[in-house]
C-alpha cells in the first residue's frame, strides 16, 4: 500500500505548514451547524474522536466552563480582518447548543480523543481528554479507541491518507450505530470571488476549490468518478453534503455571491463494511494534495 507515500507524508508533517491551533469556535464556524448540535447533546457516555487535532486547543476548549461564546461567534461571522462577509448562522441553534455546552460539570462531559502526529506543546493532562501522538491513524490498533458517537476530520486524516479505503473502514468500525463522521471537503463558489490561496489573494472562478473533490477514483469497471461521488455511493453510510453559507458582498467588478463551505457527513449504517480496496496511484504536492486512486480486486 505505497509505503513511500507515508514517507512523503512524514516529511510533509515534519515541515509543519499546517494550521494546527484552531479553537473550538473555529470548528463551530467551519463545520455545519448539525455538528454543534450533535456535540452539545453528548453526555458522559459520549465519545468524540478528532482525526487530525493539531495542538488540540479545540478539544481542550470543551472542558472550559465557557465552551463557546455566541456573541463572539456572531461578531466573527459578520466580519473579518481582511474583508467583509457574512456567515449565515442560526442564532437559535447557536444559543441552545451554547447553553448545553457551557457551565456543564466535568463529569457530565463526553470523552474526547485527539489524533495528532506532531504536537509542539505538552499534553494538557485533562481527565477524559486523550491524545494519540506520533503515530499515523492508519497504524494505531483499533482496540486503542473507544467507540465514537462523533468523528471530525478537518483537513486531517481523510485529506492526506494514502490508504483512504482503510481509513473509511476504520471510521465505520469505530462509529457507534447511527454515529456520524464529519469530513471537511472545502469550498464551492457560486460566482467568481476573491479567495486566498497560500496567503495570496486572487480571483477564484465559479466551482469547487477542494483538493478532496478534485481527487478521483478509477473504478473496477474502468469509469472515473470524483472522490466525493465515490464515497457517497458506498452502501456503508448514509451520506450528505452539509454546507455553511458565506455571503460575499459586491467588490470591484465582482458581483455579490456566496461561498458554500462544505462538509461530507457520513452516518453509519449497521452491519459489516464492504468498502472496495483502493491503491494510490498519484498524489501532487498540495496541502492537502489532489490524489488519484484506483479500485483493486
* Residue written as grid cell 469505530: 174
pLDDT, tens digit, for every residue of 87-97? 888 999 999 99
What is the reported pLDDT for 140?
A: 95
pLDDT, tens digit, for every residue of 38-77? 999 999 999 999 998 888 999 999 999 889 998 888 887 8
pLDDT, tens digit, for every residue of 106-117? 889 999 999 998
CATH 3.30.70.2190 fits 3-186+235-250+263-276, yes or no: no
Per domain, the residue ranges of the chain are 3-186+235-250+263-276
Report how far Cα 213 is from the mean position of its chain's Cα atoms: 14
- Asked if residue 19 has pLDDT above 70, the reply is no
Amino acid at each position: 500500500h505505497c509505503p513511500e507515500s507515508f514517507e512523503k507524508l512524514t516529511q510533509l508533517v515534519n515541515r509543519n505548514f499546517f494550521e494546527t491551533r484552531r479553537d473550538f469556535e473555529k470548528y463551530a464556524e467551519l463545520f455545519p451547524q448539525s455538528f454543534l448540535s450533535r456535540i452539545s447533546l453528548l453526555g458522559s457516555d459520549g465519545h468524540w474522536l478528532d482525526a487530525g487535532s493539531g495542538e488540540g486547543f479545540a478539544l481542550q476548549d470543551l472542558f472550559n466552563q465557557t465552551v463557546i461564546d455566541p456573541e463572539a461567534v456572531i461578531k466573527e461571522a459578520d466580519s473579518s480582518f481582511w474583508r467583509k462577509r457574512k456567515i449565515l448562522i442560526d442564532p437559535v441553534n447557536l444559543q441552545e447548543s451554547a447553553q448545553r455546552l457551557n457551565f456543564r460539570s466535568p463529569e457530565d462531559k463526553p470523552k474526547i480523543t485527539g489524533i495528532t502526529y506532531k504536537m509542539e506543546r505538552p499534553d494538557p493532562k485533562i481527565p477524559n481528554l486523550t491524545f494519540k501522538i506520533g503515530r499515523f491513524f492508519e497504524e494505531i490498533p483499533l482496540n486503542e479507541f473507544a467507540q465514537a458517537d462523533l468523528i471530525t476530520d478537518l483537513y486531517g486524516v481523510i485529506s492526506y491518507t494514502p490508504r483512504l479505503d482503510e481509513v473509511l473502514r476504520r471510521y465505520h468500525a469505530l462509529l457507534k450505530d447511527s454515529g456520524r463522521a464529519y469530513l471537511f471537503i472545502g469550498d464551492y463558489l457560486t460566482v467568481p470571488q476573491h479567495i486566498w490561496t497560500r496567503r495570496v489573494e486572487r480571483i477564484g472562478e465559479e466551482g469547487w476549490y477542494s483538493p478532496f473533490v478534485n481527487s478521483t477514483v478509477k473504478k473496477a469497471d474502468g469509469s472515473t468518478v470524483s472522490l466525493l461521488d465515490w464515497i457517497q455511493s458506498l452502501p456503508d453510510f448514509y451520506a450528505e453534503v452539509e454546507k455553511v453559507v458565506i455571503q460575499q458582498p459586491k467588490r470591484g467588478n465582482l458581483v455579490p455571491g456566496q461561498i458554500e463551505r462544505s462538509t461530507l457527513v457520513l452516518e453509519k449504517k449497521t452491519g459489516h463494511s464492504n468498502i472496495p480496496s483502493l491503491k494510490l496511484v498519484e498524489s501532487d504536492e498540495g496541502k492537502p494534495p489532489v490524489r488519484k486512486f484506483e479500485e483493486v480486486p
